[in-house]
Structure 1
């Protein structure tokens, strides 16, 4: 039997490019009658409230100067933020736990909380979603061989174990086509596609306009209609 979700917790990585793409999803959930509590740095609280959710402000580490933003450095920043925010978020939701957790893919703390609370969770990705063959199509295969990345991964697994999740995969779980349910007859679902090849045949490209491959590829290849999410 379908059970209506009464309280949804949304946990977002505290950067504009992560916060804004999710707001229309949150607005739609509120319009459908759900109560949404949104964990976000205080600077975004007004935007969250305007979408109809209740903001829960937390302090962030993301404004530290001199961060190394190569792949291991960026992932370490995600982990540093999780270590810093997890106690704040656990305290903020004490006594009012959601029965569904939505989280930005970079919000590692949210995945830990969902596991500890025993509630279902779903990842939202504002830019790109990992696909089958991601490592072969990107730099990640070579990055994972570096000492910096291996040190990050070891620290990540130690943090998961310290929070009662030993042996868990630290990466975002993938959604299967079967989990999407019925697919309209005019739509196709693929675990991965060669994006440039698809764009050469596309009349329009719908994207949240992330800073990674999606927007540069679309601008370079040029489908006749490049549509972007409307952020209010």
Structure 2
């Protein structure tokens, strides 16, 4: 009988989806896996073979001001995360005490994981779905907006909420909302070659790359032909009817077949009559679409970037948060795509056409795909987990 491995991930597709192929591989090897997250992800977790631990964890939608994320947006997001964490704390503690795991794997972006590992004395590991942080490279500056003002009332509200949380649960203040802590084992779902300052990361970090595996069920989809443009702003910061309207105007009546995912915050009716070359839905089965896509117009969330690289699809990036800005810069720097300069129909069409035909981008995609293939994926990640268990 294998060991018990417990996973805790914030209820966000970009953080949860990369862990599921690893969960499936651990289950295949005979380990018992329990997985705690929000209720929307029960079916995906169970499809990977884990026992689902239901948390009343439904973070508020992440908002972005039209000109980009502001200090007010950041403060509201952080405050919302602290408040959403309160009701799940007793359930998480009870789960880990009653069914003590041999290894506790938590998402690097939640402070609850290292806090609980410290309080209960659990062997721990972190899953990292974005850029990793170490003593030489700090992700934190990439997570704050350009206009960051620590004295802004919205950020001060977050600081007060954080202090109240620490006091109520009896933990040091620095343990709350401190994303990016380095665990004894860190499973990073990108290749080292994509990581900023990748050469500075030591043996605690395993850059295993992404993998296609169990995903949240979505509607069936048939490829409409070529050339295919896939448009998506992901599942979190996608309340951008102006963006989707601009895409509709830019590519209506062109040779492009457009699959456009608008999320669940935009009213489809607000886009008016859709051109016949458009298929617009809240969500698509993203890996399947990317397997047929010629270009990807994306927010540059890390999960989307990695899935695009798996299929060697050039990216036109339109980031919505500072974290996505860092991803988009890396895409440009490594010749994997270009960032949109604006939302005019001409700029949309010109960037999409340019990246589809750019030999330098095709070469960059081919090289990065080789690094992804060599990273090892779920098998290497499971090897690292088993090595940690054996210590």
1:190 aligned to which of 200, 204, 207: 200
The answer to whether structure 1 residue 122 and structure 2 residue 132 are counterparts is no
The alpha carbon displacement at 1:97 in A equals 2.0
Return closer, same or farther for 1:125/1:179 CA change in 2, 3 Å cut-off.
Answer: closer
Give the structure 1 partner of residue 31 of structure 2: 34
Tell me, in whole angstroms, the C-alpha distance in 2 between the residues paired with 1:95 and 1:138.
36
The alpha carbon displacement at 1:134 in A equals 4.2
Give the structure 2 partner of residue 149 of structure 1: 155
Return closer, same or farther for 1:174/1:117 CA change in 2, 3 Å cut-off.
Answer: closer
The answer to whether structure 1 residue 110 and structure 2 residue 113 are counterparts is yes
The alpha carbon displacement at 1:190 in A equals 2.1
The answer to whether structure 1 residue 75 and structure 2 residue 78 are counterparts is yes
Tell me, in whole angstroms, the C-alpha distance in 1 between the residues paired with 2:114 and 2:123.
10
Aligned length: 205
**Counterpart contact for 1:102–1:124, Cα < 8 Å:** yes
Return closer, same or farther for 1:78/1:134 CA change in 2, 3 Å cut-off.
Answer: same
Which region of structure 1 is more displaced relative to structure 2, 136-145 or 154-163? 136-145
Tell me, in whole angstroms, the C-alpha distance in 2 between the residues paired with 1:161 and 1:27.
38
1:208 aligned to which of 303, 313, 319: 303
**Counterpart contact for 1:157–1:166, Cα < 8 Å:** no
Give the structure 1 partner of residue 91 of structure 2: 88
In the alignment, structure 1 segments of 5+ residues that lack a partner are 181-185, 192-206
Q: Deviations over 1:93-113 (max 9, x none)?
A: 442122322112333333332
From the CA coordinates, give the structure whose radius of gyration is larger.
2
Tell me, in whole angstroms, the C-alpha distance in 2 between the residues paired with 1:94 and 1:138.
33
2:169 aligned to which of 153, 163, 167: 163
**Counterpart contact for 1:24–1:51, Cα < 8 Å:** yes
The answer to whether structure 1 residue 220 and structure 2 residue 338 are counterparts is yes
Tell me, in whole angstroms, the C-alpha distance in 1 between the residues paired with 2:180 and 2:63.
26
Give the structure 2 partner of residue 100 of structure 1: 103
Q: Taking structure 2 as the reference length, what is the TM-score of the superposition?
A: 0.44
The alpha carbon displacement at 1:68 in A equals 4.6
Give the structure 1 partner of residue 49 of structure 2: 52
Return closer, same or farther for 1:154/1:128 CA change in 2, 3 Å cut-off.
Answer: farther
Give the structure 1 partner of residue 182 of structure 2: 175
Return closer, same or farther for 1:72/1:121 CA change in 2, 3 Å cut-off.
Answer: farther
**Counterpart contact for 2:109–2:180, Cα < 8 Å:** no
Q: Deviations over 1:130-179 (max 9, x none)?
A: 46354556646834443422331342243224323224343135439x97
**Counterpart contact for 1:23–1:51, Cα < 8 Å:** yes
Tell me, in whole angstroms, the C-alpha distance in 2 between the residues paired with 1:140 and 1:130.
18
CA root-mean-square deviation: 3.6
In the alignment, structure 2 segments of 5+ residues that lack a partner are 65-72, 187-191, 202-301, 306-318, 332-336, 340-360, 379-391
Return closer, same or farther for 1:54/1:93 CA change in 2, 3 Å cut-off.
Answer: same
What is the DSSP-based 3-state SS (H/G/I as helix, E as strand, rest coil) of the residue aligned with 2:85? helix
2:5 aligned to which of 1, 4, 8: 8
1:25 aligned to which of 17, 22, 39: 22
